[in-house]
Amino acid sequence: MKTFNFYSRQAFQNLQADTSEEYTIKLNVGQRNLEVSAKLLRSYSRNVKNDYKEGKKEREYNVNVTISDKAFQILQTLLIKLDCHIEIIEDTLLDLYKVGKCLGIDDFIEWYNHALQYRTITLENIDEFIEFVKISRSNNSGMYQSIINFIAENILDISIEDLKRKCTICDMKLSDNMDFIQKIIAKCAQLGHFQDDAYIDHLYGFLLELFKESAIFGCFFNKFDYNKIKANQMNQLLDLVGNKEYKDYHSKILEMQKKRNLLTDENPKELLKSNIAFEKSIEILSNVILQKNNKEDSYPLYLKAYGLKDDFNSLYKFLKIMSMIKNFSPIRVACAIGISEKTDKNGNTILLVACINNDIELAKILIENKCNMYAENSSHNNAVLCAAIYGSIDVYQFLESNGFDITPVLLKSSFFKACRSGQLGMIKYLKENKGFNIEKDGENCIALAVISGKLEVIKYLISNNANPSFSL
């Protein structure tokens, strides 16, 4: 058993500076009591000192803890014999620490640090370490970081309910303990837990429990990945943003739900895992299909391999999912055997719909895998014009940078299409980045803008010298 020598430095300094009145206070500790000097007890106890400052000259204090005979003898030595130097064995430090917590005695609290330094943090004692760091007035940054590291490394062994409780030790609200929570989440991210299937559900469950306090929502919302979140967890997020205090996040949650629905109604991560699992066999199948060089034979073989229906929506959704989870083999084969050229009722190919939806990732992958970049729909709109009509600036730029020849005629058509559909962002892009001259080449563009019903487009065109007179 270790023995420590201590000096009541802070209490002694306080006593020397105390010029206030003297009287006797009865101190009840468990079933025992002491008659002690008010000045001396104020010098040790913040609580007693604060009461006195507020005009409360209490004559009795109760400390509802049970301590050993040895610990009580030490109290007598300190508070009656006025001995500032004391020798304490390790077990007795805990009893004095309990008294220190009740009365706000900083010396007793800091002395307990010496016992903790010789102990290892475990699941059984970590609450004791957390409490000490919270109530101690000394710099315990090393111990604080050790607690963070331990929780992050062992988070799967700590229930969600217990995690939340640990985040409120000595604090009334989670929001009062944000530094502690943020450091735990940051350490989990550093350890790669948010990319590990073994940890992700537990971490998301913990965050959802924290989110019940709206002040915390914005701090950790970006930790959720629509590729990984499960249906029940997504529903919990949707339920939360139905409350008015979460209204600022409503659109973000709905966007996450929209992306998630594009993948699967189950956990999207499972889809990714299953694709990785048979990626090699798909590669072999892809090579077989490509070597056949016969689209009539390859097309049904492809549909069978992936369990697809021969309709546009099924094929578009499938290729969209493959682009989102970066499984490129099926897309390469689809482009090679013509599946990418499947059209909807308006003659739009999968690339054209990607342009319409401003889906830059799918558009990129299709073009990089040699789909027909110049396909036109039933209205004779190609990929560039579809991007212009729907304001898909990113796609428009990518098409041009990947070899789509945007002639002056096509540029002008793009501008007029954007005016007719009211795409102000695209109009500004074509003028400011592509050099389209509204005054010279934008004849009758206001008439087209009127059809869109977008007043801001009309104002912009007029402010850039478009001719306000027009005929429909």
Boundaries of every domain in the chain: 3-118, 141-223, 278-380, 407-472
Cβ atoms of 42 and 49 closer than 8 Å: yes
Residue type, 233: Q
Arithmetic mean of pLDDT, 327-339: 84
Q: Which residue has the higher pLDDT, 301 or 15?
A: 301
40-49, 82-91, 254-263, 386-395: segment of lowest average pLDDT: 82-91
Arithmetic mean of pLDDT, 273-283: 48
Distances in whole angstroms, Cα of residue 50 to Cα of each of 42, 53, 372: 8, 5, 80
Average pLDDT value for the chain = 82
pLDDT for residue 90 is more than 80: no
In this prediction, residue 12 has a pLDDT band, given cuts at 50, 70 and 90, of low
Q: What is the CA radius of gyration of the chain?
A: 36
pLDDT for residue 280 is more than 70: no
DSSP 105: B
- Domain topology for 3-118: Potassium Channel Kv1.1; Chain A (3.30.710)
Distance from C-alpha of 74 to C-alpha of 88, rounded to nearest angstrom: 8
Q: Are strands 24-29 and 3-7 parallel, antiparallel or unpaired?
A: unpaired
Report pLDDT digits (tens) over 178-226.
888 889 999 999 999 988 888 988 998 888 888 777 667 777 777 877 7
pLDDT confidence of residue 324: 81
pLDDT confidence of residue 279: 54
pLDDT for residue 230 is more than 60: yes
pLDDT confidence of residue 84: 56
Arithmetic mean of pLDDT, 415-420: 90
pLDDT confidence of residue 399: 92
Report pLDDT digits (tens) over 39-67.
888 888 889 989 998 988 899 999 999 99
In this prediction, residue 470 has a pLDDT band, given cuts at 50, 70 and 90, of low
3-state class of 463 per DSSP?
Answer: helix
> What ranges in 312-401 are assigned the alpha helix state H?
312-324, 329-337, 350-356, 360-368, 383-389, 393-401
Q: Residue-wise over 423-442: b if at least 16 C-beta within 10 A, else e? A: bbebbebbbeeeebebeeeb
Q: Which residue has the higher pLDDT, 407 or 285?
A: 407
Most confident of 1-15, 190-204, 214-228, 430-444: 190-204
Q: What is the DSSP string of 236-254?
A: HHHHHTTSGGGGGGHHHHH
Q: H or E element: which one contains 36? A: strand 32-37
Distance from C-alpha of 385 to C-alpha of 379, rounded to nearest angstrom: 10
Span between the terminal Cα atoms of the chain, in Å: 98
